[in-house]
């Protein structure tokens, strides 16, 4: 289990380090053009994925913290229960590191700091961060793990 907690910790450090850089070098809404499809921008997200519930009156901050704390406890249980399943544990560790990274933002700032901004012509993906990327990678690996498990059982 220690290796998975180590991975989660590395992801958490990478997430928090990049957010400190963004806070230090960018004002809210300020952006840097990097390529024709990518900008670095400072955005504050008081909601969840894709700014879900961002327009709430503040209750959502504690709601999302509570969900994340419950998820962390559940993930720690799952890591302990499934220690021999490498892909599954990798996925859980990614989700764990990302969830803790975004919870730290909510507790310290009341919002999550997002800064990776992808766009193409009229299409624009909501800004996200390293924690969101780790959670997405973890979710994709969970799906892959389940597909492989079903395939092996046939």
**What residues contact residue 72 under an 8 Å CB cut-off, 6+ apart?**
96, 99, 100, 103
* Residue corresponding to tokens 């499809």: 37
- Do residues 84 and 149 lie in contact, with contact meaning Cβ atoms separated by under 8 Å? no
Backbone CA torsion sign across 40, 41, 44, 45 = negative
- Do residues 87 and 141 lie in contact, with contact meaning Cβ atoms separated by under 8 Å? yes
Query: Which sequence positions are flagged as catalytic?
Result: 114, 132
- Do residues 91 and 141 lie in contact, with contact meaning Cβ atoms separated by under 8 Å? yes
- Do residues 17 and 31 lie in contact, with contact meaning Cβ atoms separated by under 8 Å? no
- Do residues 41 and 127 lie in contact, with contact meaning Cβ atoms separated by under 8 Å? yes
Beta bridge partners of 33: 39
């Amino acid at each position: 289990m220690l290796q998975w907690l180590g991975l989660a910790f590395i992801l958490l450090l990478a997430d928090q380090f990049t957010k400190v850089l963004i806070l230090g070098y960018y004002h809210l809404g300020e952006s840097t053009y990097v390529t024709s499809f990518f900008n670095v921008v400072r955005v504050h997200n008081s909601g969840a994925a894709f700014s879900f519930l961002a327009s709430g009156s503040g209750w959502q901050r504690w709601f999302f913290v509570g969900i994340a704390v419950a998820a962390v406890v559940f993930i720690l249980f799952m890591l302990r229960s499934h220690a021999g399943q490498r892909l599954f544990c990798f996925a859980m560790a990614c989700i764990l590191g990302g969830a803790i990274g975004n919870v730290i933002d909510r507790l310290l700032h009341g919002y999550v700091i997002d800064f990776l901004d992808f766009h193409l012509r009229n299409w624009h993906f909501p800004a996200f961060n390293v924690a969101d990327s780790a959670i997405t990678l973890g979710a994709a690996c969970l799906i892959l793990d389940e597909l492989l498990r079903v395939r092996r059982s046939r």
